[in-house]
Chains A and B, each alone.
Chain A
Amino acid sequence: MDAAETYRAELESEGIVEKLRCGDPEVLREVVESYMTQILRAAMGAGLDRQTAEDVTQATFVTFIEVSRRFEGRSKVRTFLFGILYKKIAEARRAVRKQERVDAIDQTIESRFRLDGSWQRPPRPVDLQLYDGEIRSAIEACLEDAPAAQRFAFVLRDVEGLSTEEICKILDVSRTNLGVMLYRIRNRLRECLENFGVKGARWC
């Protein structure tokens, strides 16, 4: 366990809550330093521009401190923070619905397969070894119209590497719902990058 990890484990301990309640400035600094980058990255990953993402990050911490008095240590600090962030993102993006009944991607996926479940249009090789800037704009373009909740699920799971259990708590959805969200967003992104990235060069 490296220093940062030990430190984080300490942060997750119960003592932190008590200290937060008492307004220990040192603890405030520790919480902000430990989670701010992650929160900011997740906010941007969820589709907010830099400025909005910064505002939302700040608002998340402010709310965290405000409600930390009611925080009984039942969940991890991180789960709690991401839960708040999720609501802030929803506010920032207004209409965020958790689960659409139909999603255009469902039809796209259907069209990939024959009736017997075999590939009708198999995935094409994609070259994702694009320049950083290029891949960023490709991913941004691909995710632009995706529902915010799905994007956030993708960021938490595939970028931040949180467990499905923790994400279910953060988004307040069932495991099955999370599965559907991830299924849709990953396919959406894959489909879109396939269209972007097919350049003949083989990626896999």
Chain B
Amino acid sequence: MVLTCKEFARLVASGALAELSFWLRLEARVHAWLCQHCRRYQKQIHSLGPAAERAWASSAADPAETDALGRRILEELVRAQCQAGPDAKDASEPEA
């Protein structure tokens, strides 16, 4: 079977490429090597994650805000724990 561009694109974007047999993977590589459109497509798909990571890194990583959130969560957790009591184990435990 000769891989079409459409099929190649599906394999790349769904992540199914990695699960193919050796020979099919090789065929996909050869396809990308011969087809500049598919090569570009693949490169663009692979760069989406890094692009999003860069975009979000700047907004999520304010250390002061993050620290404050961490403290808030811990306080909340400790409170939740105290309410439940440290020994409030599940009765259904031994079934495992």
User: What is B's interface to A at a CB cutoff of 8 Å?
Assistant: 4-7, 9-10, 13-16, 37-38, 40-41, 43-45, 47-49, 51-56, 58-61, 66, 69-70, 72-74, 76-78, 80-81, 84, 86, 88-90, 92-93, 96
Of A62, A112, A203, A204, the contact of B76 (CB 8 Å cutoff): A62
With known contacts A62-B76, A122-B40, A186-B45, A36–B66 Cβ distance under 8 A: yes
| A44–B15 touching, CB < 8 Å | no
Interface size class of A (residues with CB under 8 A): 35 or more
Distance to closest chain A CB from B35 (angstroms): 8
Which residue of chain B has its CB nearest to the CB of A22? B86
| B61–A37 touching, CB < 8 Å | yes
The stretch among A4-12, A78-86, A95-103, A151-159 that forms the contact with chain B is A151-159
For B78, list chain A residues within 8 Å (CB): 25, 28
Distance to closest chain A CB from B60 (angstroms): 4
Interface contacts (Cβ under 8 Å), in number, total 155
For A182, list chain B residues within 8 Å (CB): 13-15
With known contacts A32-B77, A61-B73, A117-B4, A123–B56 Cβ distance under 8 A: no
For A90, list chain B residues within 8 Å (CB): none
